């Protein structure tokens, strides 16, 4: 059976209460394997809505990030260092985080310029404490809400016939799109501020 044939069967299972519970460890595994989480986050938004999707993604991302951090720090340290040698920007983050701790962890999480999964390896190689690393995961919330919101909107667009049949009026759509635009603007402003702060933190 082709993957395209499995997808229609898998999505209804994920939409069930047990499917939502299973989504958390699946997302954590996705992050641990260093796979990009954007599409998985949008899928969560389409399946569970922007708010429940954000909760599930945040919990799964935190679990996966903790696992990747511990693997990079203890068991896959040499492999992680070899992987990051090709990414001098992330190696520079490792050194800066060792000096700045929680402040820089938060800033790099807020900035869209740094890939979430590979950052976990860089933090594992640094001297940042597990406590500061864990607190810094709060910084992924704006992006999580954004991508789940995009997924929820895309899910509605995929069923646009429901809107045309009157199940969602124009006012509802205006509120959804307005809220999404406000979220995009907020994430952009936060990311821009974080990027400026990061540039100021760089050694001269």
Q: Which of 142, 140, 138, 141 is nearest to 183 (CA)?
A: 142
Residue 127 in any domain: the answer is: yes
Rounded Cα distance, 16 and 84, in Å: 39
The pLDDT of residue 61 is above 60: yes
Question: CB within 8 A of 61, min separation 6: which ones?
Answer: 27, 28, 31, 37, 116, 137, 140, 144
The average confidence (pLDDT) of the chain is: 75
SS (H, E, C) 114-133: CCHHHHHHHHHHCCCCHHHH
Tell me, yes or no, if the pTM score tops 0.75: no
Across 16-24, average pLDDT: 91
Domain count, the chain: 1
Full domain range(s) for residue 189: 19-201
Residue 169 in any domain: the answer is: yes
The pLDDT of residue 52 is above 90: yes
Residue 12 in any domain: the answer is: no
Neighbour count for residue 48 (Cβ, 10 Å): 23
The larger pLDDT score, comparing residue 56 to residue 147, is at 56
Residue 1 in any domain: the answer is: no
The confidence band for 170, taking pLDDT boundaries of 50, 70 and 90, is low
Residue 161 in any domain: the answer is: yes
Residue 8 in any domain: the answer is: no
Residue 69 in any domain: the answer is: yes
The larger pLDDT score, comparing residue 167 to residue 139, is at 139
Residue 4 in any domain: the answer is: no
Across 130-147, average pLDDT: 89
Half-sphere exposure of 3 (CA within 13 A, CB side): 0
How far is CA 124 from each of CA 27, 58, 94, rounded to the nearest angstrom?
20, 20, 8
């Amino acid at each position: 059976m082709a993957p395209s044939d499995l997808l229609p069967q898998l999505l209804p299972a994920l939409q069930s209460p047990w499917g939502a519970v299973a989504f958390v460890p699946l997302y954590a595994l996705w992050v641990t394997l260093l796979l990009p989480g954007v599409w998985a986050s949008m899928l969560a938004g389409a399946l569970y809505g922007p708010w429940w999707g954000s909760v599930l993604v945040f919990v799964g991302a935190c679990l996966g990030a903790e696992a990747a951090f511990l693997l990079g720090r203890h068991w896959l340290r040499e492999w992680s260092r070899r992987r990051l040698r090709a990414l001098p920007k992330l190696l520079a983050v490792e050194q800066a985080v060792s000096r700045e701790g929680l402040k820089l962890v938060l800033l790099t999480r807020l900035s869209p310029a740094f890939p979430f999964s590979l950052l976990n390896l860089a933090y594992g190689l640094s001297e940042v404490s597990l406590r500061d690393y864990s607190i810094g995961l709060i910084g992924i919330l704006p992006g999580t809400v954004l991508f789940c919101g995009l997924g929820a909107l895309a899910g509605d667009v995929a069923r646009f016939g429901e809107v045309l049949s009157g199940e969602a009026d124009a006012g509802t759509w205006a509120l959804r799109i307005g809220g999404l635009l406000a979220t995009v603007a907020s994430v952009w402003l936060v990311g821009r501020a974080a990027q400026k702060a990061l540039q100021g933190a760089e050694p001269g």
